[in-house]
Structure 1
């Protein structure tokens, strides 16, 4: 191997030795010429940084509440597995039914209600055969078909008040074309008859004031004719102050 300055001549030498000597010769030649090589790290540090406009735009991360709308609804795990409510949803459209079931499952999760489902129930098919027309086409018939799709959501270990809140929220924001039917279970302690009697007595006391307004009442001091005469009837020549006093009496 021959170098340009012909100061070193190596014929049989190890490769590492040749590389070390070549590196030393390169650095010596750069120092004499006045140029200094830079490492890749130094080059990157000295390179001008890209402006924010030239940098690649970073997509902002969506909020978790928005990102959760693209994922499956979360569910709470039941502890005892005691059913509290069965909600059955029915519709003729699959899209409307799936949208409402997804909304009900998400509402149950945020109300801390363990919900299972939605379970697809057997669909109901109905068919009718009627005549096409009553005059020219009365001998030809036409068939109509209607398919009802159903889903079932069960709430377990739910407090009765929370379940009623969940049902009221779903009823308020119900989607068009979707019918709902709920079966609610309420558990009472022993002595249900005594509790019902106490509640009935309280209801009677609350309704007494309203029921007293129906029918004739002998306790009224003024008759019907006297009340009619005092209301908005002004005789000619009578001052307005006297009319007001009569209506107040």
Structure 2
């Protein structure tokens, strides 16, 4: 330090305006909240149930052993969103019933157009066009038991979605001699219906002569009308 700086420092100390000496450093500890228990997880880390997580994934499918078609289900709609949603629902229902399902296969669109007059009076010469597009999807069931296929179709019909139509072609395979089996079943049905047909026979004619009584009644009515009564 120079002489001038020393003199200034001595004068400050004499007048009591010197800066305070630095205090000794004090060790301070900051208290923090204890960490959360590792067993408690945040909602974002909670695992979803498998049944709920499966909604965000593609439908599960079962493999066919022989590949014999059992049912062709055709879905039709004018809205693509409803059609895709119900196809997904049908595939999931088939999986839980144990049916091997294939599809949905997009089918050609059905386009229909109509040309009609715009109005029935002065504007009847001007015409307007209307167009309707039908979207279609095909789902095929293979190696399915006929009873299980009927349960699947009944379940889809019970929980039908609005704006979606269904058309099903079902195949059933039977052993040889189906005609003989049908003839035997007809005979059994006839035997069950014999008791019921007995109650539907012609009734016996009553002892009273109803024809004569009806003729007598008509004659009385004619006499009453002719006399103005």
State whether TM-score is above 0.5: yes
Q: Is 1:97 matched with 2:78? A: no
CA distance in 2, matches of 1:76, 1:177: 28
Structure 1 residues without counterparts, runs of 5 or longer: 1-46, 219-249
Q: Is 1:155 matched with 2:141? A: yes
| Structure 2 residue aligned with 1:145 | 131
Q: From the superposition, tell whether residues 209 and 149 of structure 1 become closer, same or farther in structure 2 (CA, over 3 Å).
A: farther
Give CA deviations for 1:107-161 in whole Å, capped at 9, x if unaligned.
Answer: 0000000000000000000000000000021111010000000000000000111
From 52, 56, 62, the equivalent of 1:66 is: 52
Bigger shift: 190-199 or 103-112?
Answer: 190-199
| Structure 1 residue aligned with 2:181 | 195
In the superposition, the TM-score normalised over structure 1's length comes to: 0.64
| Structure 2 residue aligned with 1:49 | 34
Give CA deviations for 1:73-123 in whole Å, capped at 9, x if unaligned.
Answer: 111000000000000111111111111111110000000000000000000
Q: Which has the higher contact order (CA 8 A, sep 6+)?
A: 2
CA distance in 2, matches of 1:179, 1:192: 33
Q: Give 1:198 deviation, angstroms.
A: 1.4
CA distance in 1, matches of 2:113, 2:94: 36
From 98, 112, 124, the equivalent of 1:126 is: 112
Query: Counterpart of 1:66 in 2: which secondary structure?
Result: helix
* Aligned pairs for 1:171-182 within 5 A: 171-182=157-168
CA distance in 1, matches of 2:171, 2:126: 51
Q: From the superposition, tell whether residues 186 and 134 of structure 1 become closer, same or farther in structure 2 (CA, over 3 Å).
A: same
Q: From the superposition, tell whether residues 214 and 67 of structure 1 become closer, same or farther in structure 2 (CA, over 3 Å).
A: farther
Structure 1 consecutive aligned stretches of length 4 or more whose deviation exceeds 6 Å: none
| Structure 1 residue aligned with 2:22 | none
Q: Is 1:205 matched with 2:218? A: no
Give CA deviations for 1:219-249 in whole Å, capped at 9, x if unaligned.
Answer: xxxxxxxxxxxxxxxxxxxxxxxxxxxxxxx
Query: Counterpart of 2:130 in 1: which secondary structure?
Result: strand
CA distance in 1, matches of 2:41, 2:48: 18
Aligned pair count reads 174
Query: Counterpart of 1:136 in 2: which secondary structure?
Result: coil
Structure 2 residues without counterparts, runs of 5 or longer: 1-31, 205-229
| Structure 1 residue aligned with 2:98 | 112
